[in-house]
Amino acid sequence: MTDSPHQQQGAITLLVAITLVLVAALAGFYSVQSVFIDRLAGDAQIQATQARLAAESALAWAQAEIQRTAQSTSAAAFWSAQATTPCPAQRTGLQWQCVRLQAPPVAAADTASAEVVAMRDVVNAPHVAELQASSVLNDQRSRTQVQQSLFMPTVLPVPASASTAAVVLGTGTQPCASNAWQQVLGDLSAEHIRAWSQAQERQGLHALSQPARTVYWVDSPAPWTQSVGTTQAPVLLVFSATACTPYCPSMVNGVRIHGTVVLDTQCQDDKARGWRAGQIEGQLLINSAWPEAPNASQVTAQPYARQAYLLPWPQGMDARQVQIVNGSWSEDTP
């Protein structure tokens, strides 16, 4: 028995209707799914924005904190007042000093927390602070990291046209501040050098470390017995006014220095009377005359003498102010 034409047409109509219902249901499902996905994407974008704004706020706070410290005390005080913290993986080596700053919470933004790690290379760039601000939402669903570098007046530029003579002496007739020290070191003060030396010492740098220590501030009146510096890594060795009381400590026989040696005699000739230099490959700076210079002292001028303290500064900038390093901004999602 075969179906009638009317029965066949009804079955076809029913099949078409079922198909249309299924298509409509699928369309509705995908439409709801699309809305859900768009909502998730919107929520993720909002969360990412919240995390980024928290990180940027922490970075701005850290910059302001450094500026405040530099103005109220000194830029070096910022580094000495902070507890050290392990450095990020990309900053390895004894020369890297890292401190962690806990940024205050942002008003009306209790959904995220942020912290800042300040980093600097105490050998090659003690005047540059790399600030890395990280934030995370309290539900751990979004993280952001922003980074920017600052020039800091922890040290100051030295004269580009300083004397390259083997021995530079003060005249003894001018005010002490305008004598040999300024001719060679410019505005790089005793406080700058002392803080720089202390930072390298705290990091565990010494003559045989990698990298080697490059700045030595000496307050002891005891004779100097250690050879330091190389042609590739010369040093700045300063015998302070304290060390030079009543007389500057001489170097023992056989000591060899690659770099610059400074006697801070405070323009008093007698403090350098009969001082023995040992062998200096670089430059000797005495902030007075050198009465009765021993014949055994050997000082040979070398072009690398200033490398230990000759740091890169952008031309024309005011190195006494905290300033942003142009082009140093970066953002990442760790």
Mind listing the pLDDT tens digit for each residue in 199-241? 999 999 999 999 999 999 999 999 999 999 999 999 999 999 9
Is residue 302's pLDDT more than 50?
A: yes
pLDDT tens digits, one per residue of 3-61? 566 666 666 676 766 776 676 666 665 565 555 454 544 555 656 677 788 888 889 99
* Average pLDDT for the chain: 85
> In terms of DSSP bridges, do strands 143-151 and 125-137 run parallel, antiparallel, or are they unpaired?
antiparallel
Distance of alpha carbon 122 from the chain centroid:
7
- Is the pLDDT confidence value at 296 over 90? no
Q: What is the DSSP secondary-structure string of 168-204?
A: EE--SSS-GGGSHHHHHHTT--HHHHHHHHHHHHHTT
Q: What average pLDDT does range 259-281 have in this prediction?
A: 92
Structure tokens at 57: 């706020």
Strand pairing of 143-151 and 96-102? unpaired
pTM: 0.82
Q: How far, in Å, are 55, 141, 142, 164 from residue 145 at the CA level?
A: 6, 14, 11, 45
Position 108 scores a pLDDT of: 46
Whether the ω angle into residue 249 lies within 30 degrees of 0, i.e. cis, is no
Mean pLDDT of 283-303: 88
Query: If you average pLDDT over residues 248-272, what whole number do you get?
Result: 94
pLDDT tens, 118-142? 999 999 999 999 999 988 876 656 7
Confidence (pLDDT) at 11: 67
Mean pLDDT of 278-290: 93
Residue with tokens 């030595």: 216
Q: How far apart are the first and last CA of the chain?
A: 74
